Chains A and B, each alone.
Chain A
Amino acid sequence: MDLQTITYVVVGASFALYIGIAIWARAGSTSEFYVAGGGVHPIANGMATGADWMSAASFISMAGLISNMGYGGGLFLMGWTGGYVLLAMLLAPYLRKFGKFTVPQFIGDRFYSKSASTVAVICLLTASITYVIGQMTGVGVAFSRFLGVTNDTGIYIGMGIVFMYAVFGGMKGITYTQVAQYVVLILAYTVPALFISLQLTGHVLPQLGLGGTLVGTDVSLLTRLDQVVTDLGFGKYTTSVPGSTLNMFVYTVSLMIGTAGLPHVIVRFFTVPKVKDARSSAGWALVFIALLYTTAPGVAAMAKYNLISTVNSAVATDGDLYAADASLEADKRPAWMKRWEQTGLLKFEDKNGDGRIQYYNDKTTNAEAKAKAEAAGWKGNELTVNPDIIVLANPEIALLPNWVIALIAAGGLAAALSTAAGLLMAISSAVSHDLVKNVIAPDISDKNELLVGKVAMAFAIVLAGYLGLNPPGFAAGTVALAFGIAASSLFPAIMMGIFSKKMNKEGAIAGMLSGLFITLLYVFAHKGLFFIKGTEFTGLIGGPNSFFGITPEAFGAIGALVNFAVAFLVDKVTKEPPEHIQALVESVRIPRGSKAVDGAH
């Protein structure tokens, strides 16, 4: 069978599985629709959380980013996993004890204020909608590359599939489909990595291979990689830092508290039977996430090594990288390069007209590398590689069999679809439960609320699809915004709601608004007002990265600090929360008396 047929078979089989599960797990009540009936086993919930969490960005882009950044890429690894420690200890068990359907509902009840819950709904919708655009775009890319359909058709198919299992199945359908999607995506990610690690280092596990020595030599992979990239004028792989150490520190904090504050992740812990289960389920979620996250750095370094040694034969022989015959002859470049050139994600341009491909950092500040390149007659870097290729083309670069390549397609789609479904669920429950039930029509019946939820979900799918088809110019910048909002508004509000008995509504609302405001201000100053090009105003805040050299992506942590500070100041000068709210906090802190999540008021 040729590659195209195998890909259709593998992807088709995985879709049939998801739809089969969706039919089996239809939601009949609001409780099943919002929280899967509250009876999901903690291990199954951990797996579903893993699939929910690992998006197109984790699956497709992260290893490529680490590959480019080297050591500094560790901030994604630590940030996106360390957040689960905070979630498990500071939020999940207490929110589960509280026993309601949504995050804004907690904020509204704890701060005895509909304004507070409305602010939370706005934060939630902004964070989730910006996030879901990226998922739909990812679905389009994966379909168009692997199934030979256009980007647009790919997005329509994706919308159709999500519609089927999310609208009919609700949280119950989504949860059990995500368990299957987790299995598909983790196999797709790890199988090629095992092969590559074995080929390159003789270790089956990439976690060991990354610290191993290259086959047939006694030089370690990382040492050799450091030598090669430094010699070609790039930063040293094992030490290069993004910006400054302070920026890496703050960026990591932002990702951690952003992770803990993302509503579509938090609601996962409302689906388990008990408080005890919410604690261990976070641990299981992290185990399943760690399988991919500890494999990613191996994939990153090995792909970088494989890529450079494909275009420069001196890498493997430890010869002179700048020798005339070391660079790959353009006519002899492998078939996968030509395939990816068609997608525009890989570009080759023979700048010095010698018929060979020279790959190096032509903007280097390393005088030695610069002099060598000039002496060799190199006239600029001739190969540009989009970081997204690193995972998608990895099996092809390592010359692995076709079924492995087909598996990657199914895995990428599973990652994007599972995250999209989780986000759509969070959006729909915020609309039907927090807006319609809580504010607009409190008397709505259970059956009608379920209907509103399904209609809201259908609308959200159409909106997400539309935005995926017509991606606003800001698609890339928005993920940073989603984390920034979660970190600066939701996380501090929930945490203070649990850990401070005396925090009142005035403090919480002022804190959320000022954290949100300062974060948006800093992000918009760099990226334009509402991401519209030409409206940047870095001049007003004293130049780019003016706050101690911190980049806008990393700013969520500063927003959170502002949130905490403002909330405590306002709290000091306004009156205490009423007695029954303090009693509520007392009861949330203790597991005894937990009941099934029912959302009742």
Chain B
Amino acid sequence: MENNSAAYWKATLGLLTKILIIWFLVSFGAGILFAPMLNSIHLGGYPLGFWFAQQGSIYVFVVLIFYYAKKMGELDERFDVHED
């Protein structure tokens, strides 16, 4: 069991790292650091960097949380630590 819970925690941290990288890339990356470069590309009437800062990153955040909830549910089952 000890081994098992260590493996569960390692898998959890792996998932968190993956999600935080995307979280960082859309907001701080595309929305701030690379926004001036991305603004030369247009999405309809939106300059792309501006879109990420005021629209896009929010949509991605929502998807990330639901993806996290789903994947964690799977991890819980796989390592047999789920509720009930």
Contact = CB atoms under 8 A, between A and B. Distances in A.
Interface centre among A294, A589, A591, A593 (most CB of B within 10 A): A591
Nearest to B43: A211
A276 B83 contact: yes
A590 interface: yes
Contact of B58 (A78, A90, A279, A586): A78
B83 A591 contact: yes
Most buried by B among A82, A212, A239: A82
A254 to B, nearest CB: 13
Nearest to A79: B27
Interface in A402-431: none
Interface in B27-69: 27-28, 31-33, 35-36, 39, 43-47, 49-51, 53-55, 57-59, 61-62, 64-66, 68-69
A85 B83 contact: no
Contact of A294 (B43, B59, B68, B82): B59
B73 A276 contact: yes
A570 to B, nearest CB: 24
B53 A77 contact: yes
Nearest to B68: A89
Nearest to B16: A89
B19 to A, nearest CB: 7
A71 B47 CA distance: 10
A448 interface: no
B28 A294 contact: no
A275 B69 CA distance: 10
A187 interface: no
A223 B45 contact: yes
Nearest to A273: B83
A212 B58 CA distance: 19
Interface string A286-326: 11001001100100000000000000000000000000000
A85 B81 contact: no
Contact of A252 (B19, B28, B61): B28
A248 B36 contact: no
Contacts of A73: 54
A590 B20 CA distance: 21
Contacts of B20: 85, 89
A248 B45 contact: no
Contacts, number: 139
A591 B27 contact: no
The residue among A85, A208, A239, A276 with the most chain B CB atoms within 10 A of its own CB is: A85
B81 A297 contact: no
A582 interface: no
B58 A293 contact: yes
A592 B66 contact: no
B32 A279 contact: no
Contacts of B50: 71, 74, 222, 238-239
B54 A74 contact: yes
A594 interface: yes
A222 B32 contact: no
A135 interface: no
B9 A252 contact: no
A358 B53 CA distance: 32
B45 A279 contact: no
Given A89-B16, A211-B51, A280 B58 contact: no
A249 interface: yes
B58 A77 contact: yes
Contacts of A283: 62, 65-66, 68-69
A27 interface: no
Given A71-B53, A77-B53, A594 B27 contact: no
Nearest to B64: A85
A411 B15 CA distance: 39
A82 B61 contact: yes
B33 A280 contact: no
Contacts of B47: 222, 238-239
A505 interface: no
Given A238-B39, A283-B69, A290-B62, 9 more contacts: A75-B53, A85-B20, A85-B65, A211-B46, A221-B45, A222-B47, A275-B83, A286-B65, A590-B8
7 contacts: A84-B65, A210-B45, A276-B73, A286-B65, A586-B5, A591-B83, A594-B83
The 4 closest A-B pairs by CB, nearest first: A220-B45, A74-B53, A283-B65, A211-B44
